[in-house]
Amino acid sequence: MLPSDDRTWENNDVTRRRENSERLEAAAKLVVPGGVYGHGALTTRAHPRFFESGTGAHVTDVDGNELIDFMCGYGPNLLGMGHPRVEAAAERQRRKGDCFSGPTARWVELAEALVERIGHADWAMFTKNGTDATTLCTTIARAATGRRKILVARGAYHGAAPWCTPSDAGVPAEDRAHLLHYRYNDLESVAEAVARAGDDLAGIMVSPFRHDTFVDQELPTTEFARGLRRACDRAGAVLMIDEVRAGLRLARGGSWERLSVDPDLSAWGKALGNGYAISAVVGREDLRDAARRVYATGSFWYGGVAMAAACETLAVADEIGLPEMLTATGQQFRAGLEELATANGFSLRQTGPPQLPMVLFEGDTDFSLGKFFTGDAIDRGVYMHPYHNMFLSAAHTPAIVAEALERLSGSFESLRRYVDAAGPEGSR
């Protein structure tokens, strides 16, 4: 086994400037617990912590290192950073005003746009964080059914509120008292959890595909999706799809429409405003009254600018045929990575939909290969993640993907040299 030291990548033959990043990180540690917290801290020492600018598929860190960005802000960058049409639409609203004591006309326009494009959506509600949207789904499901139990897949991420955060620091057990778990793509485990819920099953939450950190992604089987729908129908419970991470990249409407499975509620976020802070819940007619009874609000939830950005994001996505476009460049990226890995004697695990690439090295249980590889890739100007799914945007053109692969060719070679130098125990 190679050591899983975050700094191994520094043994490569490329260097980049890191002074400003390190200086800012030290300054941050004085005034922010841990310096940087949250998903941006899930990366390795190789990853720049602070960003200076970005446009399209490129970001530049505070040391002036330009990177082809395969994280897209963990999802929000759907069309390319600073997309001209989205920015123009936001600017038009901004000149009028953003944060009033009630909504603007964009509220109606965006709700109409979501209702039009998502099969199961008869209405929409707007929130700010993805967590707001998933939490609101559970509250509506409980209000509608008068029941309490919510089923989620073991290991799935549905946000950072006490009921769903992956950490238990500061979270009393009661916040999760009505949470039951099943295994993704395992209807038997669903049936067991449904049985445990008894007559108290409010709903089942599920991601459109399994996109847990650290492990292979997994597409849902049609049988699994339909089985969840059937389980909810039988129990009079609410099926909820958490589209926050994957929504809009997989399909124009709901991600499970291709499986002919409609949920009762779905939560959307991240990509919806192409970087502007907005999330949403949409739902079926029979849940409208429960949704109306729930108290949901936030200081900035009427903000017209993010809604204007979202309306334009959806319009642009439709014009360019976004899911198909991302599928094509995702397949190009996947095939190119596969070829480079093979040429250098590595075996990759590339799983899930190509629009949200997940790249793990076969047998790399401590992610030492992934950490060295992504560290080296960042040195060569490609921002990748060693154990979290990545994201493509419409700005990731075939030429940019080809350029990224060209740079990554050096990273595979560098990894080969590193593994070979580590001797027999280091080989895979």
**Cβ distance to its own copies smaller for residue 48 or 220:** 48
Give the nearest distance from C-beta 231 to its own copies in angstroms: 21
Give the nearest distance from C-beta 107 to its own copies in angstroms: 6
Amino acid at 211: H
Percent of residues in the chain assigned helix, strand, coil, to nearest 5 = 45, 15, 40
Give the nearest distance from C-beta 325 to its own copies in angstroms: 21
Tokens read off for 281: 């819940």
Give the nearest distance from C-beta 361 to its own copies in angstroms: 21
Tokens read off for 251: 């399909």
**353 Cβ neighbours under 8 A, 6+ residues apart:** 209, 217, 219, 246, 249, 250, 327, 330
351: phi then psi, degrees, rounded to nearest 5:
-130, 165
Element (H, E) at 113: helix 105-117
CA distances from 205 to 136, 176, 278, 284, 336 (A): 12, 14, 21, 15, 35
**DSSP annotation of 427:** -
**Cβ distance to its own copies smaller for residue 255 or 279:** 279
Give the nearest distance from C-beta 59 to its own copies in angstroms: 6
**Cβ distance to its own copies smaller for residue 223 or 300:** 300
**Cβ distance to its own copies smaller for residue 32 or 335:** 32
Distance CA 267, CA 127 (A): 10
Give the nearest distance from C-beta 76 to its own copies in angstroms: 5
Task: State the first-to-last Cα distance of the chain, in angstroms, to the nearest integer.
Answer: 8
DSSP β-bridge partners for residue 127 = 279
**Cβ distance to its own copies smaller for residue 290 or 341:** 290
**Cβ distance to its own copies smaller for residue 7 or 29:** 29
